[in-house]
Amino acid sequence: MHIAILTFEGFNELDSLISLGILNRIKRTGWRVSIACPSARVKSMNGVVIEAQATLEDASAADAVIVGSGMQTREIARNADLMSRLRLDPSRQLIAAQCSGTLVLAKLGLLDGVMACTDLTTRPWVEEAGIRVLEQPFFANGNVATAGGCLAAQYLAAWLIARVEGIEAARSALHYVAPVGEKDVYVARAIANISPYLPD
């Protein structure tokens, strides 16, 4: 199971790295989570430089993909060469996007006729792309999920884990990262947000 987290220049650290940390709570052979970038290194919106662990082409072949957000997402969504490298397919992949990453999915045609979540800044751009934006932190339709707000990364990670490893594995991963003294409440809230969008 390879999960690629698309991370572009100007990326939001919270989106990419919270998901990375929670997803890596799964410890089983074959489970791999990678930061996938269009270049060897990318710099975050706050100046943190990270090295790519995978390419965009690797992400297109992954079992699951999370599209993170960042300061340059509008430019990325307008970059035909860059967007052509993203060959995402919900018929064979679980696909998730956070905040402005939702705009990337919209421009790839993966949200046609589907409602979505995003952050307040990106909302008008996503609506301009013809997508109805929901006033909630998480939504999924089949194999495509979106989330709005930096700290909604937990919902995307939990949804992916629940889809692949089951709801108890998602609970366990969230419990590990939840604040002490709030673990039960934190986990319950997260599971309540993703449960309506899990297969029966």
Q: Name residue 2's beta-bridge partners.
A: 32
**Structural domain for 45, as ranges:** 2-197
Give per-residue pLDDT as tens, 98-149: 999 999 999 999 998 899 999 999 999 999 999 999 999 999 999 999 999 9
Give per-residue pLDDT as tens, 56-96: 999 999 999 999 999 999 999 999 999 999 999 999 999 99
Distance (Å, whole) CA 28 – CA 96:
22
Our count of domains for the chain comes to: 1
Supply the CATH number for residue 151's domain: 3.40.50.880
Q: Is 172 exposed, middle or buried (0-12, 13-18, 19+ CB in 10 A)?
A: middle
User: Does the reported pTM lie above 0.85?
Assistant: yes
Q: Name residue 96's beta-bridge partners.
A: 66, 145
